[in-house]
Amino acid sequence: MSQSLDRQKAKPHLAEEWVGKIYTFLCILFLITTIFSIVYFVASKGLSTFIVNHVNVIDLLTGLKWLPDGEPALFGALPFIFGSFSTSILAACLAAPLGFCAAVFMVEISPKFGRKYLQPVIELLAGIPSVVYGFVGLSVIVPFFRDVFPGQGIGIAAGALVLSIMILPTITTIATDALAALPKGLKEGSYALGSTRWQTIYRIVLPTTLPALMTGIVLGIARAFGEALAVQMVIGNAPHIPRSLFESASTLTSAITLSMGNTAMGSLANNALWSLALILMLMTFVFVFIVRFLEGRSKL
Amino acid sequence: MQGIGLSAKDLSVSYGDRPAVKKVSLDFAPKQVTALIGPSGCGKSTFLRSLNRMNDLIPNCTVTGEIWIRDQNINSPATDVVSLRQKIGMVWQRPNPFHKSIYENIAFGPRYHGVKKKKELDEIVEESLTKAALWEETKDRLHNSALALSGGQQQRLCIARSIAVKPDIILMDEPASALDPVSTAKIEELISELKREYCIIIVTHNMHQAARVSEKTAFFLMGEVMEYDSTNNIFTNPQRAETSDYITGRFG
Ligand SMILES: Nc1ncnc2c1ncn2[C@@H]1O[C@H](COP(=O)(O)OP(=O)(O)OP(=O)(O)O)[C@@H](O)[C@H]1O
Ligand SMILES: [Mg+2]
């Protein structure tokens, strides 16, 4: 009896196994193909600037003038690269201390209030569309900067400020998780030796969770680096390296979104934009590698 | 007698409105080991944690009663908890070394209490590790991570760490229950060594361990002290039926 049951059931099970295997395999295959096609597409387009149009790579990376319609056409992307790095790193510098303090407050100082009110609010921040951030930046931050500092109010400072609020949830959430995952015994051990709360936070909590905190910061920078819309709305979009934080500037993303519609597919100007996209993509890879490296270290 | 002991008077602890320790009065003599035994959940850890005010860290935990060290009631709000905890060291069931080097683990406490000179710190580190019977094993790798040590070594490191701030009293909450027999024997040996200098209060579930290392034993049951006497009397001639039931393994 039981034998016949087994034999009857064995077949459907085996079939199920195979269906499952094939199904998951196909999904993975689809994913991998998509990723590779995107990388290949961006790379081939981006590289054709150098291969087909014979623009010098060094000239593109270090050139200060971006004149795609000029005579001769110039493709110096350094102002954009500078803009992207300065806004995102500045944004991280603003958001990291804030995010970390918020996390310490939520985990160490007032867990009840933090969990109940602060965490949902911060998660809400993450859900706000970037156009809203840009709009708020344009109508609040830019006029404020215009009144207080010399210049038009637009520029790196406004961009960085908007970005810092956008990446705050990322940094805070990762820092909160890291702090909450800290073994309870470590803090008790420190208190039992007669350390104060701040000594414990500064000498035990911070160093032990540092790799995770860094992960949060790098992810924040990566997000800021790739953000286009909000930055474009407040940065001014002048294609040169600004002399102050309150002078119009551009980023890689804002340059691409602004000019993509105005260039013909396959033209030199279009290819040059793809080169910018390639730089963005490569930088993202670098960020991912840094995060990987840090995560490996935080396991201890 | 020389040295510093501790006495608890009518000490009660409750979590919210649930009492965990009820009006416990116990005197702990200096240079002696006192064992706290009793079934799980009877409030031994809670009592122990009250003695160095670690329960202050638990939000809804209230401790009432008095704890006297010399002529000071340390359970009063006026007590400087931070300097109190220097005087009362603590070791937990699970070793909790900091994610730092062996050297830094030991130097952590003294550094905050004003020892800045490298030479002095070096001396404290060597002295503490020697007292904790760990110097020989670690002197060549003081700057390696403490997490690379074995569980038993980590526990001795934690003991060394608490000795380094020069306490008078050391509280141990099941310090050997996560360790293998060899490491356990080493810890017990160490306790017998340390009691020449310190007042030691140890919670243990191991009757043999209590009998081996302690001079006096307190038997806890449901948050109360049932019996407190010399270890010898408790194990050979208990006065109460509950005590004898517990140590002979009839319940708990
Ligand atoms: N942080 C806490 N919050 C609320 N109740 C607690 C807390 N810690 C302990 N208790 C309760 O207090 C009582 C005494 O616990 P305690 O940990 O002191 O027991 P114990 O004698 O150390 O037990 P064991 O031998 O298992 O370690 C238990 O009923 C426990 O549930
Ligand atoms: Mg306990």
For chain B, percent of residues with pLDDT exceeding 90: 73
**Chain B interface residues (partner A, CB cutoff 8 A):** 52, 54, 57, 82-86, 89-90, 92, 94, 96-100, 108-109, 112-113, 147, 158, 161-162, 165
Same-domain status, A230 and A284? yes
Mean of per-residue pLDDT scores for chain A: 89
Close Cβ partners of A236 (under 8 Å, ≥ 6 residues apart)? A152, A154, A155, A247, A248, A249, A250
- Let me know if A13 is exposed, middle or buried by CB neighbors in 10 A (0-12, 13-18, 19+): exposed
Is A64 a domain residue? no
Check residue A68 and give its pLDDT: 81
A108 pLDDT more than 90: no
Check residue A16 and give its pLDDT: 82
Check residue A58 and give its pLDDT: 87
Task: Average the pLDDT over A110-130 and give the result.
Answer: 88
* Residue A119, domain CATH: 1.10.3720.10
Is A284 a domain residue? yes
Task: Average the pLDDT over A157-179 and give the result.
Answer: 94
Is A161 a domain residue? yes
Is A94 a domain residue? yes
A1 pLDDT more than 50: no
DSSP per-residue string spanning B126-152:
HHHHHHTT-HHHHTT-TTSBGGGS-HH
Same-domain status, A238 and A279? yes
pTM of the shown model: 0.81
Write out pLDDT tens, residues A22-66.
999 999 999 999 999 999 999 999 998 888 888 888 888 888 888
3-state secondary structure (DSSP) of residue B19: strand
Check residue B96 and give its pLDDT: 93
Tell me which residue in B85, B89, B99 faces A208 most closely, judged by beta carbons.
B99
The two beta strands, B169-173 and B88-91, are parallel
Q: Which ligand is nearest to the CA of B46?
A: 1
Is A66 a domain residue? no
Residue of B22, B45, B60 to mutate, ligand 1, most atoms within 8 A of C-beta: B45
Q: Do A194 and B147 touch (CB under 8 A)?
A: no
Same-domain status, A121 and A268? yes
For the domain made up of B6-96+171-247, the CATH class stated in words is: alpha beta
Write out pLDDT tens, residues A209-267.
998 899 999 999 999 999 989 999 999 888 888 888 888 899 999 999 988 888 888 88
Check residue A264 and give its pLDDT: 84
Residue of B24, B46, B50, B60 to mutate, ligand 1, most atoms within 8 A of C-beta: B46
More confident residue, A69 or A102: A102
Same-domain status, A20 and A165? no
Same-domain status, A45 and A115? no
A170 pLDDT more than 70: yes
Taken in order A151, A153, A159, A161, the sign of the CA dihedral is positive
Domain coordinates in residue numbering, chain B: 6-96+171-247
A164 pLDDT more than 90: yes
- Let me know if B39 is exposed, middle or buried by CB neighbors in 10 A (0-12, 13-18, 19+): middle
Q: HSE-up of B131 (CA within 13 Å, CB side)? A: 21
Q: Which domain holds residue A39?
A: 2-52
A3 pLDDT more than 70: no
DSSP per-residue string spanning B45-103:
HHHHHHHTTGGGGSTTEEEEEEEEETTEETTSTTS-HHHHHHHEEEE-SS----SSBHH
Please tell me which residue of chain B has the smallest CA distance to A197: B82
For residue A8, what pLDDT band results from cuts at 50, 70 and 90? Answer: low
Write out pLDDT tens, residues A190-207.
999 999 888 899 899 999
Same-domain status, A37 and A141? no
Same-domain status, A182 and A292? yes
Q: How far apart are CA B69 and CA A47, in angstroms?
A: 77
Contact B52, B69 (CB under 8 A): no
Contact A216, A231 (CB under 8 A): no
For residue A176, what pLDDT band results from cuts at 50, 70 and 90? Answer: very high
Q: HSE-up of B211 (CA within 13 Å, CB side)? A: 10
Q: Do B162 and A193 touch (CB under 8 A)?
A: yes
A4 pLDDT more than 60: no
Asked if the C-beta of A72 comes within 8 angstroms of chain B's C-beta atoms, the answer is: no
Q: Is B151 in the pocket of ligand 1 (CB under 6 A)?
A: no
Contact A212, A199 (CB under 8 A): no
Q: Which residue is listed with tokens 């070793």?
A: B95
Same-domain status, A148 and A200? yes
The domain tally of chain A equals: 2
Q: Do A194 and B113 touch (CB under 8 A)?
A: yes
Is A67 a domain residue? no
Q: Do B96 and A186 touch (CB under 8 A)?
A: yes
Is A63 a domain residue? no
Contact B202, B175 (CB under 8 A): yes
Close Cβ partners of A250 (under 8 Å, ≥ 6 residues apart)? A79, A80, A83, A235, A236, A237, A238, A239
Q: How far apart are CA A297 and CA A212, in angstroms?
A: 9
Check residue A67 and give its pLDDT: 85
Same-domain status, A13 and A114? no
Same-domain status, A38 and A85? no
Q: How far apart are CA A93 and CA A158, in angstroms?
A: 14
B120 pLDDT more than 70: yes
Same-domain status, A85 and A38? no
Q: How far apart are CA B152 and CA B99, in angstroms?
A: 17
For chain B, percent of residues with pLDDT exceeding 70: 98
Is A109 a domain residue? yes
Write out pLDDT tens, residues B200-238.
999 999 999 999 999 999 999 999 999 999 999 999 999
Q: How far apart are CA A198 and CA A58, in angstroms?
A: 49
Contacts of B92 in chain A (CB under 8 A): 185, 188-189
Close Cβ partners of B29 (under 8 Å, ≥ 6 residues apart)? B1, B5, B199, B215, B216
Same-domain status, A34 and A88? no
